[in-house]
Amino acid sequence: MLHKQLLQLKDEDFQAPPTPSPLARKRRRPASSGHTLVQFDDWVIVKGGVQKRRQRACKVCSLYRGELKKSFQTTYYCPDCSKGDAKFYLCGKARRGGDRTCFQVWHEDFACGAEIPAHLGKRVVLRRAPKTIGVRKKTSREILRDDNDEGADEDAL
């Protein structure tokens, strides 16, 4: 049956403009003007004295993450969505198999947090930056190792 219908098509049938799919008809909000991604200039010294940028959790990735998954880390934030010292961190990369970045999702789909979908069921919390920046805390393993090294030095005397 379908084969017969395809054989009956004429050149005029192929001239009609294609109808947009239901997904293409979805209303898109224009990008918020003035909002930009800025890389935060917070450095930390890691093993071997190497200096790296401190990374924070992306807020949109945190909303979408599952119970057992970690959210993605980023060094970028939106100064217009931040409040004082509390930076609003967002990815500049497309995640979750889509073509839109977390920055675009937050500003266009979520209207800067005013329209977060109810199925995500979470709220966004901003944290202030710590007072001291630049040097990370030692892990308990590193503290024990340093204590053992000091004890070995005292025994050698």
- Shortest CA distance to 54 belongs to which of 32, 79, 81, 73? 73
- Shortest CA distance to 91 belongs to which of 115, 55, 120, 133? 55
Q: List, for residues 104-145, the tens digit of each pLDDT value.
A: 999 988 888 888 888 887 777 777 766 665 667 788 888 888
Place of tokens 């003035």: 34
- Shortest CA distance to 77 belongs to which of 86, 59, 90, 60? 90
Alpha carbon 121 to its chain centroid, in Å, reads 18
Say how far apart CA 128 and CA 88 lie, in whole Å: 10
pTM of the entire predicted model:
0.59
DSSP secondary structure, 87-109, as one string: --B--SSB-TTSSSBHHHIIIII
Q: List, for residues 73-112, the tens digit of each pLDDT value.
A: 999 999 999 988 888 999 988 877 788 899 999 998 888 8
Q: Label residue 32 by pLDDT band (50, 70, 90).
A: very low
- Residue boundaries of the structural domains of the chain: 29-147
